Structure 1
Amino acid sequence: MKFSLLPSLTLLNFSYNELASKIPLQICTLSRLTYLDLSSNSLTGELPPCVQNLTRLQILDIGGNYINGSIPPELENLEGLDALNLEFNFLNGAVPLTIGRLHNLQFLGFSLNNLSGFVPLEPGNLAKMDSVDLSFNNFTSPIPSSIGRNLVSLAYLNLQGNQLYGYIPSKIGNFVSLTDLNLQGNQLYGYIPLEIGNLTSLTDLDLRGNQLSGSIPSEIGNLMSLTDLDLQENQIDGSIPSEIGNLRNLSYLDLRGNQLSGSIPPEIRNLTSLSYLHLQENELDGCISSQIGNLESLVNLSLCENRIDCAIPLKMGDLRNLEQLDLSSNNLVGEIPVELGKLSLLFYLDVHNNSLSGSIPDNLRVVFS
């Protein structure tokens, strides 16, 4: 196609085809373009620096191709960009600091590349930024300490699957519009900052697979919009704060693989929307509260590999939606209650490695593993 014959073109969308060439340089002559979408093809080669000529561009989407090389610093000239999507390519090297000059940018997508160096969120004026996805790259830096100052409108931040290290900065508490925060699979350490309690719009908090330590702050109870909380596979100790009972919209709670101690707080009875509760591989002790029967939405409950040392509560038979129950490797005593036979949806029950006595109830028709 001879793009030079289309001088008035403002929108060009070739997405979801099977284009397999390099990006033609003639595209750079379309000076009136405001929308360029070449995503989900098989384009190869580098992103041409001459794209800087498209100064009216508002949307640039080249995600889902085989583009390699580095991100050209000339992108700084596209000051009208609202959205920049380069995800799912083979880009490498550091992100140019000049990206911070794109002051109109609302969406930045660099996920699933081979980018490295510093997280490109500190420089410039990015006050309009709504969504940032830098996941699954090779960024090796701390999260910038000034991050909360620049990204005041941010609603979505995904930095998972990198090699970020250091503390979670306290200024992250300035993200009052944030609904989704994913920092899993990095090398972050130190305490979950108290300022995280300021993120009252947050619905999804994922910090799993880091090296976070200290206790879960009671301020977690301020996040009353949370539906998903995942802190698994860290080094968190102390007790589960009673304030977790404030999270009445929570449907997924995973604290497995930490060093939590003490008993499961009775306030967990308030989490009536909870479908998944994973507390295994900790050091929890004491009894399972009979009020666990309030959690009628539970589908999956795992408390295995703890130190729980009382009887299985009869009220566990009220969990009518339960499909999987793992109480193995604790210090449970007494008999298996016949009330568990009321769990008609249960297909997985594991109670091995306890001190249970008596016989298996006749009405319990599940296969033990």
Structure 2
Amino acid sequence: MYVFLNGNGLSGTFPENLFRLQHLRVLHLQQNQFSGPLSYGIGNLSNLVELDISLNDFSGSLPDVFGRLRKLESFSASSNRLTGLLPASLVNSASRLRIDLHNNSLDGPIRIKCSAMAQVTSLDLASNNFQGPVPASLSSCQSLTVLHLARNKLGGVVPFEFRNLHALEFLSLGNTSINNISTALEILQHCKNLTILVLGLNFYQEEMPSNVNLQFTSLKALIIPFCHLRGSLPIWLSSSKMLQLLDLSWNSLGGSLPSWIGKFEYLFYLDLSNNSFSGEIPESLTGLENLVHKTALLKESSEHFSLVKSKEQGRPYLVYNDVWSFPPTIDLSHNMFSGPIWPSFGNLKNLHDLSLEENNLSGSIPESISGMTSLEVLDLSRNNLSGEIPHSLARLSFLSVFNVSYNRLYGDTPSGGQFMTFPESSFDGNQALCPRLLAPCQRKQIPPLVSPGKKMKIVDWNFGIGAATGFLLTVFFCFKSGWVFPKGRVCRY
């Protein structure tokens, strides 16, 4: 028997008439407005296999009745107002495969009896108030593929025993106050199936490990922002051939970017913004295979990783429910890059977001940029760019954000296509750039120059003949009319 009441705007307490459905196997109540405590009567549903009460307003402690639900495999109560400790009966059952309690106010230590829950594959306890160190006992959950403990008050280090989580594919420990990134990576490299690793908002001001022996051969997404890590882009990353998403933003990494950053066949999202990288942008970035030819992505479901992404502090957060829903991006903003914007950036036909603002880039904006036909965001503001804005950019029909403010651009501002929708602030700080709403730039007429080595001719032979003929005719008429010598007079006496 299956009951699906999700997304119907229902309210009130848990419907107790459901407790009489002894043969009920699947109950979905998510995305409603149910409130109050979860009734102990739920223990009567002894045949229940799947229970989802997420995205409601349930409050209070979870009842310790899960020992009577011996067939329950999946329990989701995320995004409620639940408090208190984890019920022992919930995390001490051989039938449990998936537990999702993220975004509540549960507290206390995380006590999971993995010896009893040998088959559990997914555990999401993120965004609660759990305390104490990351429990080493989780390493005994040998079938665990998804572990999400982010945004709790854990502290300490990654347990050495985590090296035994050979089935682990998705791990998020972001914002848990853990430390010692070197040890963490040395341990986690032994999780040979690890695909997504999220460690942001930890390891404050530590050094990015440069150990060339680190190996993450299965890694497809590495997310370590907001740590103020020091050092440079680590060379061990170059061996992660499957990498598709790399976010090391808001750190203190410096030096030049190595050319191998453009050699990843599957990379579609690169965010190195808000660091101290310098030198030229590697031209190899303009040949990223997945942004040129759209190489097939090696996607896996990451529904348990609701990631928060903010372009800048103070702006609204963007929440992606799936890692792979991030738009194809190259974000190198707020660094110290110099040199040109390579014309070959135009090869990146599948790129959606190119953000290069707040650097020291120079030269002109290449005409070939218009080849980035999927581009939605182009931010080149606060650099040292000169020349005119290519009018071919008006052909970028998906462009919704464009900013070239505070450069040294001049000439007419493109007025066609999406350029009619951009605010004037997108062009501020370019003193010689003509505003869109005024008449086109009035260019001064410059007289043609004489080619070097050629003499300028004042008169030619045609002009000479005409002048001589005119002179002779003038003299003849003057004599004939007596203007030069007066005519003879007859004397009369």
Amino acid at match of 1:335: G
TM-superposed CA distance for 1:183, in Å, is 5.2
Please tell me whether the aligned partners of residues 148 and 173 of structure 1 are also in contact (alpha carbons under 8 angstroms): no
- SS of the equivalent of 1:360 reads strand
Which residue matches 1:218?
Answer: 235
Quote the offset at 1:301 in angstroms: 1.0
Task: Tell me, in whole angstroms, the C-alpha distance in 1 between the residues paired with 2:214 and 2:62.
Answer: 33
8 Å CA contact 2:253, 2:277 repeated in 1 = yes
Shift of 1:235: 4.0
Please state whether the residue corresponding to 1:268 is helix, strand or coil: helix
Deviation at 1:86, TM superposition (A): 0.4
Show the counterpart of 2:441. none
Q: Distance in 1 between matches of 2:36 and 2:263?
A: 52
User: Post-superposition shift, 1:285?
Assistant: 3.4
Pick from 318, 325, 330: which aligns with 2:383? 330
Check conservation: 2:92, 2:113, Cα contact below 8 A. Answer: no
Give the match for residue 358 of structure 2. 305
1:271 offset after TM fit, Å?
1.9
Give, in angstroms, the shift of residue 149 of structure 1.
5.8
Q: Which letter does structure 2 place at the counterpart of 1:198?
A: F
Match of 1:164 among 176, 189, 206: 176
Equivalent residue, structure 2, for 1:267: 284
2:30 to 23, 27, 39: 39
Aligned counterpart in structure 1 of residue 218 of structure 2, from 200, 209, 222: 200
RMSD, matched Cα:
3.9
SS in 2 for 1:220: helix
Matched with 1:108 is: 99
Contact 2:331-2:355 at 8 Å conserved across structures: yes
Q: 1:106 to 1:300 in 2, by over 3 A?
A: same
The offset of 1:302, in angstroms, is: 0.9
TM (norm. structure 1) is: 0.75
Q: Distance in 1 between matches of 2:97 and 2:130?
A: 21
The aligned runs of 1:1-369 (5 Å cut-off) are 10-23=1-14, 32-49=23-40, 51-52=42-43, 54-76=45-67, 78-96=69-87, 99-118=90-109, 124=115, 128-140=119-131, 143-144=134-135, 150=141, 152-154=143-145, 156-162=146-152, 163-167=175-179, 169-170=184-185, 171-182=187-198, 186-187=201-202, 189=204, 190=206, 197-198=215-216, 200=218, 202=220, 204-274=221-291, 275-313=328-366, 315-332=368-385, 334-336=386-388, 338=390, 341=393, 343-345=395-397, 346=399, 348-354=401-407, 356=408, 359-360=410-411, 366=419, 368-369=426-427
CA distance in 2, matches of 1:273, 1:97: 47
TM-aligned CA distance change 1:44 to 1:352, over 3 Å: closer
Q: Tell me the SS of whatever aligns to 1:165.
A: coil
What is the CA-CA distance between 1:60 and the residue it aligns to?
1.8
Which is higher, the Rg of structure 1 or of structure 2? 2
- Counterpart CA distance in 2 for 1:239 and 1:316 is 24
- Deviations 1:46-76 (Å, cap 9, x if unpaired)? 2234544545432121212221112334435
* Distance of 1:323 and 1:89 partners within structure 2: 36
Report SS of the residue matched to 2:96: coil
* Greater mean deviation of Cα atoms: 255-264 or 114-123: 114-123
SS at the partner of 2:106? strand
CA displacement at 1:329 relative to structure 2:
1.9
Superposed CA offset, 1:144-200 (max 9, x none): 46656635541x45445555111363344454445555555x545446777985261
Structure 2: 5+ residue stretches without partners = 153-174, 292-327, 428-493
- Partner SS, residue 273 of structure 1: helix
| Cα distance change on mapping 1:51 and 1:243 into 2, 3 Å | farther
SS at match of 1:92: strand
Q: 1:121, 1:220 → 2: CA distance?
A: 33
Amino acid at match of 1:232: S
Q: Is the 8 A contact 1:151 1:175 kept in 2?
A: no
Q: Determine if contact 2:366/2:390 at 8 Å carries over to the other structure.
A: no
Q: Contact between 1:217 and 1:241, CA under 8 Å: does it hold in 2? A: no
Q: Which amino acid aligns with 1:166?
A: I
Shift of 1:304: 0.8
CA contact (8 A) 2:114 2:138 kept: no
Structure 1 unaligned spans of 5+: 1-9
Aligned to 1:7: none
Aligned pair count reads 354
